[in-house]
Amino acid sequence: MGKTSWGALFGLGCFSSHRDHASDDSRPPRPAPLPNDDGLKTGNGVTPSPEDLSVSLAGSGVEAFTVDELQTATRDFSTSNFVGEGGFGPVYKGYVDERLKPGVRAQAVAVKLLDLEGSQGHKEWLAEVVLLGQLRHPHLVKLIGYCCEDEHRLLVYEFMARGSLEKHLYKRYTASLSWSTRLKIAIGAAKGLAFLHDAAKPIIYRDFKTSNILLDSDYLAKLSDFGLAKDGPDGDETHVSTRVMGTQGYAAPEYIMTGSSNNEERCV
């Protein structure tokens, strides 16, 4: 596993990953290419249809939901089920089971709706479906399903009972986290990043911040919101160049200045 510096862990941007090539066989699997920065296209130049997604995600356990099903799951997106809102759009708590859709395990979920007038769009939605539909790790939030119906784009995740780390650090009404809990969260987030960076096809997260670190009931940390994620250097490539993305104050200074990330310093 790559070595992770404490600076990266607390939001300073990059960490060194010195690979042991003798252990390549233990790396996470190679995910499909993510949508590029310049449009809504995948590697073959065509935006995938809902049918294409269903085929490509076959066997992944990710469900294709309809708008009607997700309306039922969230009680018609009731304000009492409203959890919060980010750059992608509003998030609602819901509940899915076999009565809603045969074969679906009964569980609480978080349903995120794409705001058609927001800062993110189909490309970011597609990046999340492609990435989280293929990768599984204890410190990545689990994608339960998605919806691609007409202009509607929704994502369905496991529900994280304690919300974001940001809420616990900056909201006055929440109890202060103990140092042992803070350390547990920091190590969990670092393990999630290390998993992405050490994949057979490395992934650059590009949006590592407290609002994107979600906590379950036991304060297990999971990375969320992969709409800005990008494929990292591959094979003999030493770096990738990209439009600078992410949140000001969290991205590494060298990445902000150059728009480049290499194999030794992975911009998270």
Cα–Cα nearest to 48, from 125, 134, 157, 112 = 125
Q: What is the pLDDT of residue 170?
A: 86
Domains and CATH numbers, the chain: 6-11+24-31+163-267 (1.10.510.10), 50-158 (3.30.200.20)
Report how far residue 81's alpha carbon sits from residue 262's, in angstroms, rounded to the nearest whole number: 42
Question: Can you tell me whether residue 41 is helix, strand or coil?
Answer: coil
Q: How many helices (H) and strands (E) does the chain have?
A: 7, 14
Query: What is the chain's mean pLDDT, rounded?
Result: 76
Cα–Cα nearest to 216, from 173, 185, 176, 170 = 185
Q: What is the pLDDT of residue 24?
A: 44
Task: Compute, in degrees rounded to 10, the torsion defined by CA atoms 135, 140, 144, 148.
Answer: -70
Given pLDDT bands bounded at 50, 70 and 90, which one contains residue 1? very low
Within 13 Å and on the Cβ side, how many CA atoms surround 192? 30
Please measure the distance between the N-terminal and C-terminal CA atoms of the chain and give it in whole angstroms: 16
* Of 248 and 101, more confident: 101
Given pLDDT bands bounded at 50, 70 and 90, which one contains residue 118? low
Q: Whose structure tokens read 């066997």?
A: 59
Find the radius of gyration of the CA atoms of the chain. 18
Degrees, nearest 5: CA angle 231-232-235: 110
Active site (catalytic) residues: 207
Cα–Cα nearest to 222, from 170, 159, 167, 264 = 159
Q: Is the model's pLDDT at 182 over the cut of 70?
A: yes
> What percentage of residues in the chain have a pLDDT greater than 90?
42
Burial class (CB within 10 angstroms; exposed 0-12, middle 13-18, buried 19+) of 231: buried
Q: Is the model's pLDDT at 153 over the cut of 80?
A: yes
Q: What is the pLDDT of residue 3?
A: 42
The conformation of residue 258, written as its DSSP 8-state character, comes to H
Report how far residue 103's alpha carbon sits from residue 99's, in angstroms, rounded to the nearest whole number: 9
Give the mean model confidence (pLDDT) for residues 167-176.
80
pTM over 0.75: no
* Of 144 and 266, more confident: 144
Cα–Cα nearest to 229, from 39, 44, 37, 61 = 37
Q: What is the pLDDT of residue 247?
A: 56
Report how far residue 261's alpha carbon sits from residue 268's, in angstroms, rounded to the nearest whole number: 9
Report how far residue 69's alpha carbon sits from residue 230's, in angstroms, rounded to the nearest whole number: 31
